[in-house]
Amino acid sequence: MNRQGLDCEIVIVGAGCFGISTAYYLLTRGFQDITIIERSNEFPAKDASSNDINRIVRTSYTDPFYAKLAKEAIKSWKEDVDIWGDSYHESGVLLIAGRYADEAYLNEVQQGLRLTQFERFSMVHQSFPSNAAVYLPEDTKGYLNHDNGWVDAGKATFLLTEKVIALGGKLILGKRATKLLRKGGITEAVECHDGTVVGASLVVIAAGPWSPSIFPELEYKDKSLATGQCVAMVQLSQEEADKYRNVPVVLNYSTGFYCFPPTKDNIVKIAIHAPGFTHTIDNISIPRTVITHPEDGLYIPKAYAQRLRDEFAAVYPELAKKAFSSTRLCWYNDSPDGDWIIGRHPTDSSILFATGGSGHAFKFLPVIGRIVADAIQGTLDSSVAKKFAFDREITHVDGSRDGTGMVREELNVNDLCGPEKRQS
């Protein structure tokens, strides 16, 4: 086993979900020299998927490993208020049935979670406040998980980053990692865009959707893919927000559509969990964001803007009449099977990957760094190590998006739209 001493120099590339959680666990285990390199000048980075107004926290997985781990994460979200404050909200999550939800339900039952199953919409309607205007087809089936909810992702990332800094972790902002400096095929340092060199006994690549493109010499690009997912926000009035304040998160696995209760700022976020869009440059997909394209980096494809509105109307027809106050392409790092990539590079033992979130990693922020830290110390369970290995054989596809009928598309930058000026 390849173990790292507590005094070794560990450089983490990326201050998102994987990177910050890993740094936290390493520091609490006594590691003394942890440096995080972050390309953004601020934290959390304003274009990072880990910096968002909300993320679903669910245990609805067909894979028992994730279902069990999500339950552990929720325990931390709820109980470790010294870390997370009030960033977690137990609103419940309503899963509208599809093949994936039906299979996930069995794992939910085995975990002893508080569930209410519905066979028709008249029963589903009981999950919503009586004054909320809700519409779903009469034959809608699904279940409500009362032990799930959502988390303020940006706030949680900020709070954990503060903990990392308080524990002695070094966060270097505004440094874009561009090159690995090697000797005898083994990495000894990371060079940044401005010539800054940071020495390392181990480099943890936790750069999310930028992971496939920053170090092409690692031959990583076929292991995962940067994909943009369409998101829109709707600003409610105080009266409207109070009316919908206590609705659950709604997640439809058949269409990929999901939406949240209003935030404290009275914003409702809607999105589609889909194969997404690629933005290909030199044969590799690279995120196109508000940082790289300030004028339209938050815009989304027009067809998906309409799809978002149509799906929104199928749940909350009253709210769907309102203009989108903002839009965003939220960039994921998708692996073919939806499993994360946590493990060492097969030919360079000084490189360890902690990425491949595939759109479902953030809910595990309280525990995901534990898995990476175990991998670093060589104590990770062999079956888990095999599941997340860099060079694993892909034997299945990501089932959570498999039932939507949508296919991945290349982003057409000439067919985008942003916030709407019209008012309802």
185-207 pLDDT, tens digit each: 999 999 999 999 999 999 999 99
**Residue 114: pLDDT above 90?**
yes
**79-98: pLDDT as tens digits:** 999 999 999 999 999 999 77
Residue 85 domain-assigned (yes or no): no
In the predicted model, what is the mean pLDDT of residues 346-363? 96
Do 386 and 301 share a structural domain?
no
In the predicted model, what is the mean pLDDT of residues 162-187? 96
Count of domains in the chain? 2
**Residue 3: pLDDT above 90?**
no
Comparing 424 with 284, which gets the higher pLDDT? 284
Cβ distance 6 to 376 under 8 Å? no
Residue 191 domain-assigned (yes or no): yes
Number of H helices, E strands in the chain: 11, 26
Task: Please give the pLDDT value at position 65.
Answer: 97
Do 323 and 191 share a structural domain?
no
Residue 188 domain-assigned (yes or no): yes
Q: Which amino acid is at 151?
A: V
Question: Domain with 9 in it: what CATH number?
Answer: 3.50.50.60
Q: Which residues contact 149 (CB under 8 A, 6 or more apart)?
A: 57, 88, 89, 90, 91, 92, 93, 249
In the predicted model, what is the mean pLDDT of residues 220-233? 92
Do 240 and 387 share a structural domain?
no
**Residue 4: pLDDT above 70?**
no
Do 325 and 260 share a structural domain?
yes
**Residue 402: pLDDT above 80?**
no
Do 232 and 369 share a structural domain?
no
Do 323 and 411 share a structural domain?
yes
pLDDT tier at 399, thresholds 50, 70, 90: confident
Do 317 and 170 share a structural domain?
no
Do 288 and 177 share a structural domain?
no
**279-319: pLDDT as tens digits:** 999 999 999 999 999 999 999 999 999 999 999 999 999 99
Task: Please give the pLDDT value at position 421.
Answer: 61
Residue 378 tokens, joined: 């060589």
Q: Of 100-109, 170-179, 400-409, give the lowest mean pLDDT range.
A: 400-409
In this structure, what are the phi and psi dihedrals at residue 13, rounded to the nearest 5 degrees? -95, 105
Task: Please give the pLDDT value at position 424.
Answer: 40
Residue 75 domain-assigned (yes or no): no
Give the gyration radius of the chain's Cα atoms. Answer: 21
Do 325 and 240 share a structural domain?
yes
Closest by CA position to 136, among listed 395, 312, 14: 312
Task: Please give the pLDDT value at position 296.
Answer: 96
Task: Please give the pLDDT value at position 139.
Answer: 81
Do 246 and 127 share a structural domain?
yes
Closest by CA position to 300, among listed 207, 401, 420, 202: 420
**Residue 1: pLDDT above 60?**
no
Do 261 and 324 share a structural domain?
yes
**Residue 209 per-residue DSSP state:** G
Q: How far is CA 389 from the centre of its chain?
A: 20
Do 196 and 177 share a structural domain?
yes
Note down the domain range covering 44: 1-54+152-224+336-392
**Residue 262: pLDDT above 70?**
yes
Task: Look over the chain and give the mean of its residue pLDDT values, rounded to a whole number.
Answer: 93
Residue 73 domain-assigned (yes or no): no
What share of the chain in percent tops pLDDT 70?
A: 98
In sign, the C-alpha dihedral spanning 167, 170, 171, 176 is negative
Q: Of 137-151, 230-244, 262-276, 340-354, give the lowest mean pLDDT range.
A: 137-151
Q: How far is CA 110 from the centre of its chain?
A: 25
Task: Please give the pLDDT value at position 417.
Answer: 95
Question: Domain with 326 in it: what CATH number?
Answer: 3.30.9.10
In the predicted model, what is the mean pLDDT of residues 157-175? 98
**Residue 376: pLDDT above 90?**
yes
Residue 76 domain-assigned (yes or no): no
Closest by CA position to 22, among listed 381, 361, 362, 354: 354
